[in-house]
Amino acid sequence: MKLILTREIAGLGLAGDIVEVADGYGRNFLVPRGAAISWSKGAEKQIVQIRRARDAREIRDLGHAREIKDDLEKLRVTLGARAGDGGKLFGSVTTADIATAVKDAGGPLLDKKRIQLPGHIKTLGTHTVTVDLHPDVVASVPVTVTAV
């Protein structure tokens, strides 16, 4: 079965890639989860849009990754969350919350899949989050969680 990936799948490809997979894997796993669409000549036009969105988020090379690392480590990222008595949060902070907070702090747009949390963030205070920018470059970003 020939499919067009709409997001990165480990071991298979990146968003916008055309892949050949087993019929059951494509029909029962990839397509229902929105990770791929069926390939057709008309759907190939969507590849340009998918790849353009991927390139906007993608790190170009090692030098570019190091530049982004320097920018990220200089940022003061503050994230507001609802908290109860004793500084415990109602819920927890997600990677999507952190990606939005980095963007709001003046940083680059990050893919939430590249952000690694140090466990579940369920308390107020400063937590160090790592961002995998490149296989050789990992940035450490301090995130301060405050009560709203």
The pLDDT tens digits for 101-145 are 999 999 888 888 889 999 999 999 999 999 988 778 889 999 999
Give the CATH class of 2-57.
alpha beta
Q: What is the pLDDT of residues 46-75, one digit of tens each?
A: 787 777 776 665 666 778 888 888 988 889
Q: Is the pTM of this model over 0.75?
A: no
Query: Concatenated DSSP letters for the chain?
Result: -EEEESS-BTTTB-TT-EEE--HHHIIIIITTTTSEEE--TTTHHHHHHHHHHHHHHS--SHHHHHHHHHHHHH--EEEEE-B-GGGEEEEEE-HHHHHHHHHHTT-----GGGEE-SS-EEESEEEEEEEEEETTEEEEEEEEEEE-
pLDDT tens-digit map of 27-45: 999 999 999 998 888 887 7
What are the extents of the domains in the chain? 2-57, 62-147
Q: Architecture of domain 62-147 in CATH? A: Roll (3.10)
Query: Between 83 and 14, where is the model more confident?
Result: 83
